[in-house]
Amino acid sequence: MAIGRTKEAFEESKRAIECDPLGLVLNMHKGWNYLYRREYQLAIEQLTSTLELDPDFILARMFLAEAYEQIGRFEEALAEFGKTVNLSERHPIYLAGLGHAYAVSGQRDRAVKIIGELQQLSSQMYVPSRGIAEIYIGLGDKEQAFAWLDKALEQRNGWLIHVKENPRYDSLRSDPRYESLLQRINLPL
């Protein structure tokens, strides 16, 4: 997926489920593929069925929340992100997801409060800068978003390899700094 071979990634994901139809990660991965292909309803269906296999599978919940977010079903997105925050005992990446959902749903004060909480947590534990960048993307603050993405690059955050296909980054694509970011990550333009 990260190198732009999304069709092949999706085909491999389908093949993997044929081999192991009850594999949690495989089922989640197919839903994640739908999400990044912008097939949000199919992502919701796949991730919901994955959660029927294990309601506490946090990655499936996170991607389900992101799919709800993308189609404007903010109440469901916030509920799912709330569950990830509880399941993870307030892990920074899930807090950041909740912060992004608050931001895109117009709850600016709550989003900013989560940024503050993440910054406080960073004195005690690793807090991925990518998560803070995504909250700023949701708030529409490109300056801060790119500043935090630069920090994420310094942290060598592995999830940055997905900025090209992740729909959360769509609002940044027309900015020249986005292309520069891709080059620095060493992703094909």
Per-residue pLDDT tens digits for 125-179: 999 999 999 999 999 999 999 999 999 999 999 999 999 999 999 999 999 999 9
Sign of CA dihedral 36, 144, 97, 75: negative
Q: Which pair of tokens denotes residue 2?
A: 């990260």
1-72: CATH superfamily: Tetratricopeptide repeat domain (1.25.40.10)
Determine whether 16 is exposed, middle or buried from the number of CB atoms within 10 Å of its CB (0-12, 13-18, 19+).
middle
* Domain(s) of CATH 1.25.40.10: residues in the chain: 1-72
pTM comes to 0.94
In this predicted structure, the answer to whether residue 65 has a pLDDT above a threshold of 80 is: yes
**H helix runs in 37-122, sequence order:** 40-53, 58-70, 74-87, 92-104, 108-121
Average pLDDT over residues 88-107: 98
